[in-house]
Amino acid sequence: MKSKTTFNMALVLGMLPMMAGAAQRQMEHLGRGVVAVNQGDGKVYVGWRMLGTDSENIAFNIYRATGSGQPVKLNARSITQSTNYVDGSVDLSQSNTYFVRPVLDGGEQETSSSYTVQANALAQGYRSIPLKTPEGYAPNDASVGDLDGDGEYEIVLHQAGRGRDNSQSGTTDPPILEAYKLDGTFLWRINLGRNIREGAHYTQFMVYDLDGDGRAEVACKTADGTVDGKGKTIGDANTDYRNQRGYVLDGPEYLTIFDGPSGAELVTTDYVPPRGNVADWGDNYGNRVDRFLACIAYVDGERPSLVMCRGYYTRAVLVAPNWREGRLTRVWTFDSDDGTPGNTKYRGQGNHNLSVADVDGDGKDEIVYGACAIDHDGKGLYSTGLGHGDAMHLSDIDPDGPGLEVWAIHERPSHPYGASLLDAGTGQVIWGLPLTDPGRGLAMDIDPRYPGYECWANSSDGLYTCRGVKIPGAKPRSCNMGVWWDADLLREILDGTTIDKWDYTTGTTVRLLSADGCSRNNGSKSNPCLCADILGDWREEVIWRTSDNKELRVYTTTIPTDHRLITLMHDPVYRLGIAWQNVAYNQPAHTGFYLGEGMATPPRPAIRTTHRPN
């Protein structure tokens, strides 16, 4: 059983030693991510990161420079209880620049990067990034990575034109990827070309530092006619493999690794698994053959591998290549239909999404593909036989139970469980709900009266505890996304362009934020472009597109909190969740530990960070 030690708001994630013998994972070297927001009435909210490599005794001093004046330290005593601060008496008619300095053993360390609140800036909780959106396109899913090695994140954005679901005929516009710095600097554009179809199931793009050089790469499926960020065409620019129904069922398929800072092609190779015989994937017109998923996984426990996937309704294939020292090499292939004894039970068990974590405790990552899991060595770990679903959530949902759990949603099940809580390491059903076709579901801590995460689905008759006990009263109307936003450890409900707090005493929601002037993505999925901890303290930012498609707005909380945690991006499970969040039907990322009311102090993450020399 897991410890039930209560988490004190003054404790720091990282106060416990690393687990003995645990390999250190290569992770991003991040700066402090300082963010400052004009709250009005002469107040400025300032937040910054605590890192997974920081000492447990770290403290911070915060500085403000007004106009061209000298910086002034704002705190009388070094800050040890939080990673945010409200500057309460600011002359906002002048620019104000904020930065922090860590303090160890009474001595100040290196100065962080700074963040400036411009003179007479409006009191608004977002940062605007102007876009170069092509005519007829709209910003869609986004991801983040440190593309240039400066310790701060850049945004890689999927610009989507006319699209089609795999089940629909018709031509589409070429998918486009663009990169922007958080200050609005445009870096590059990659046009994937007419031989890559536009739609939620086609283009899964991974943004991650795959080779450990301190800069993230971008990886995705490409084809003849793809144009990289430097204007170079991959393959034959003149070929058009679209058939009369708009499907692309002929011609070469590629996997390309692109350079982070420039978008230039680094390497292009054949895409594996290839389409082969289209009918082998479940139909002959092009629906199931082009169902793609992707993720990043530490299959050796120390360095990240790319995992590219094809198929889930019938045949399912996962391939893990490494990008190392300028070479792309395959580690393993899992194929449900290759004749390996036992592999056929993995047919038809995939979701429209996936998750990655070390679910069996061996220090190496498994890929939870839906109702099955693939072990770190490319062999099947288990298949539940519960079938395809549209949503799932992997975390320490029950903090008093062993290991991690999965809250799984099953589409039109032929078994008793439309939604079920599973042991993530074995696939064993812990409990389930007899639902017909729930579609969506969510698991997160929204009610402090019960230990663990609450679980629900869009067709469930209410909220359930992590032990399957129904909670009297109503449930939230939405189960699309979640976000850590306000001052407590509970998670808030993110749906469309709003953030709501669940009032467990009345069974209703309370509006915390409406992103006026913004629009949601992906139809009924009601997703933002991204929800991730990319700035400030451990709580999450939300990136929405504006309704005119001309800018991204990065919203950050301005609510002070006394809970001090390291950046969620240094938790390996959460960081990999941000990498796969753009895949097919977007899901919120979860931590690899229980984050909620009454949480125990999590173990210090076993990580080492990569830093690119200047």
| Preceding omega of 341 cis (within 30 degrees of 0) | no
Q: Considering just the CA atoms, what is the radius of gyration of the chain in Å?
A: 23
517 pLDDT exceeds 50? Answer: yes
Phi, psi of 99 (to 5 degrees): -150, 165
5 pLDDT exceeds 50? Answer: no
17 pLDDT exceeds 60? Answer: no
Contact 360, 374 (CB under 8 A): no
Residue range 76-125, pLDDT digits in tens: 999 999 999 999 989 999 999 999 999 999 999 999 999 999 988 888 89
211 pLDDT exceeds 80? Answer: yes
Contact 570, 50 (CB under 8 A): no
For position 121, what pLDDT does the model report?
A: 84
What does the mean pLDDT of the chain come to? 94
Q: What number of other Cβ atoms are within 10 A of residue 477's Cβ?
A: 12
| Token code pair at residue 8 | 């004190």
Give dist(CA 264, CA 229) in Å, integer: 5
Q: For residue 206, name the pLDDT band (cuts at 50, 70, 90).
A: very high
Of 269, 282, 293, the C-alpha closest to 337 is 282
For position 14, what pLDDT does the model report?
A: 35
523 pLDDT exceeds 90? Answer: no
Mean pLDDT to the nearest integer, 514-534: 94
Q: What number of other Cβ atoms are within 10 A of residue 145's Cβ?
A: 23
For position 22, what pLDDT does the model report?
A: 63
For 472, half-sphere exposure in the C-beta direction (CA atoms, 13 angstrom radius) is 3
Residue range 122-151, pLDDT digits in tens: 888 999 999 999 999 999 999 999 999 999
| Token code pair at residue 468 | 């399957």
Q: For residue 612, name the pLDDT band (cuts at 50, 70, 90).
A: low
For position 89, what pLDDT does the model report?
A: 84
571 pLDDT exceeds 90? Answer: yes
Residue range 224-263, pLDDT digits in tens: 999 999 999 999 999 999 999 999 999 999 999 999 999 9
Between β-strands 492-495 and 481-483, what pairing exists: parallel, antiparallel or unpaired?
antiparallel
Q: For residue 439, name the pLDDT band (cuts at 50, 70, 90).
A: confident
15 pLDDT exceeds 50? Answer: no
For position 20, what pLDDT does the model report?
A: 41
For position 519, what pLDDT does the model report?
A: 97
